Structure 1
Amino acid sequence: MQHGKYRFIAGFLVVPLALYALFVIWPFIQAIFYSFTNWTGLSPEFKMIGLDNYSRMLEDDVFWKALQHSLVFAVVLPLVTIGLALFFAFMINVGGRRRKGAAVTGVRGSGFYKIVYFFPQVLSIAIVALLFKFAYNPSDGAINSALKAVGLGSIQPEWLGDPDLALICVMVVLVWSTVGFFVVLFSAGMASIPRDFYEAALLDGANRFTTFFRITLPLLWDTVQSGWIYMGILALGAESFAVVHIMTVGPSGGGPDYSTIVLPLYVYQKAFGPGQAAYATTIGVALLLVTLLFAAVVMRLGRRERLEF
């Protein structure tokens, strides 16, 4: 009977695992293999060159700039996005004042706020990037026009054209476009926490600050940790690539003067450059290692005893 059970389970797993290995694991193996070659990407011919691509990468100043910016994204974006999402979700679900018949409730209009916060998720990241690119336009963009309208016409930053501001402008867009998803995620988690816990805390005289850090955050910690990893992967991957590529100046984004270049965009630039496919896969391997290291660090630092209710 036991033997038949394992054969039944294996029968269901063999096809999904085979597809996963073919479309996920195998491309990783290919990328690592090509990083040790001089493959141009334009022909099937190549030869092994050992660690030459890795030596070149370590001496590449643009690579180190891209790595630095990607690490800033991986640290700052989850911190800001998760922090804002937790605050908004807490206020929407349990941060309101006591009302008749309900000791624990969200702020007034919480249903409307959920829609407003989630709205950016409906838009494609490409559309969001284009809208903000127009808003950041220094000559007739919405932001500088608003500054003129309130009498601050003397303050007209270049925004995306300023190397000191461009990276911050990009991060603002990423936070705006992703915070709504985590508000909904954390709201779902908070809705599953028994209201008795909050009511008992209120009877003991706990305020919102104490309630959040003593009840909400500990019971929501697993969801927060998963959200932190997910947001970090977004910041290191496709989301940062799309926004930087579309919004920033330069032949293929990353400007001005590489002030917004990130690893995914640098991989793209080298992959579609003349005969640099192997070097692009080398940078891709570095990006894979950074992503795995980020996830491992977050899981290690966020490890704590699981609370059940």
Structure 2
Amino acid sequence: MFIVYPVTQVFYKSLFSSSGFGSSDQFVGITNFIELFSDDVFIQSIKNTGFLMLVVPVITLLLSLIFASMLSFGQLKEKHLYRTIFFFPSILSFVVIGILWAFIYHPNMGIVNEIMKVMGLDQYALTWLGNPDTVLWAIAIVMVWQAVGYYMVMYLAGMDSIPKELYEAASIDGANAIQQFVKITIPMLWEIIRITIIFSINGVLNISFVLVIVMTSGGPNNSSQVALTYMYQQGFVNANFGYAMAIAVVVFIVAIILAFISNKLTEREAL
């Protein structure tokens, strides 16, 4: 009722020209989809979404693995404190995170530019969210900051379940820490890594929508527009619901394809 029916309705409504609930719908077939791929803003939003889906998961999962290794194998007395600190951003509301970082990036009051000025790097004190060249990177950094702790905890749980005897045997055989990480930790964590890859790719779609709405509203000049914000704009601002549903269908299909591809590329025999 709450999943299958709405999804089927999205596919069905994408074939109509509709201005909202209760209005008379006109069947237009695949016209909405044809218009999509000649729509410069939609093309730009897909490129921006693809950029975030490529950059954010790679950086996030790499940092999560590094931090998890440091906390799991490092001799740190404050280990539990660091776990809590790293995990804290993942429990905050996306809206709160967007507002917080909008202030951090503020060109006059933001701490980023203040740090640049203190370090004598005034030329790098930019309008981070108002510059087409930096806005996507600025949003990507926020997404990485929010998600690193969440995936780090997942990796920590996996690392804690790896038998310590494997590392002891590897040490006796002369393997250093990097060799142990590559030959033992990564293979034993592979199933968790596969899951986090899919989670992170799909997570980008969800969090990018909220952050862009809160921090930039798609600006400047659509340079931070992502597929779901453009869908929202078409549906709830322009009252072009049929067109918005067509965008939703494209995003849905792309997400399924990416999940399938990542699943196949990372498939291997479980240890």
Q: What's the C-alpha RMSD, in Å, of the aligned pairs? A: 1.2
Structure 2 segments unaligned to the other structure (5+ residues): none
Q: Report the counterpart of residue 210 of structure 1 in structure 2.
A: 179
Deviation of the 1:199 alpha carbon: 0.9
Matched length: 271
Matched, 1:53 2:61: no
Which consecutive segments of 4 or more residues in structure 1 shift more than 4 A? Answer: none
Mapped partners of 1:263, 1:58: distance in 2: 13
Which is worse superposed, 141-150 or 185-194? 141-150
Q: 1:189 aligned to 119, 133, 158, which one?
A: 158
Q: Report the counterpart of residue 212 of structure 2 in structure 1.
A: 244
Mapped partners of 2:80, 2:122: distance in 1: 38
Q: 1:221 aligned to 185, 190, 207, which one?
A: 190
Matched, 1:299 2:267: no
Cα deviations by residue, 1:102-154 (Å, 9 ceiling, x for unpaired)? xxxx4442222111111112321111111110010111211111222233334
Matched, 1:145 2:114: yes
Q: 2:218 aligned to 254, 258, 261, which one?
A: 254
Matched, 1:87 2:56: no
Mapped partners of 1:201, 1:261: distance in 2: 49
Deviation of the 1:47 alpha carbon: 2.1
Is 1:42–1:275's contact at 8 Å kept on the other side of the alignment?
no
Mapped partners of 1:273, 1:184: distance in 2: 39
Higher relative contact order (CA 8 A, sep 6+): 2
Is 1:129–1:247's contact at 8 Å kept on the other side of the alignment?
yes
Matched, 1:28 2:4: no
* Equivalent position amino acid for 1:285 in 2: V
Deviation of the 1:42 alpha carbon: 4.5
The percentage of aligned residue pairs carrying the same residue is 34
Q: Residue 159 of structure 1 aligns to a residue in which SS?
A: coil
Mapped partners of 2:109, 2:192: distance in 1: 42
Q: Report the counterpart of residue 170 of structure 1 in structure 2.
A: 139
Q: Report the counterpart of residue 70 of structure 1 in structure 2.
A: 49
Matched, 1:38 2:12: no
* Equivalent position amino acid for 1:35 in 2: S
* Equivalent position amino acid for 1:274 in 2: N
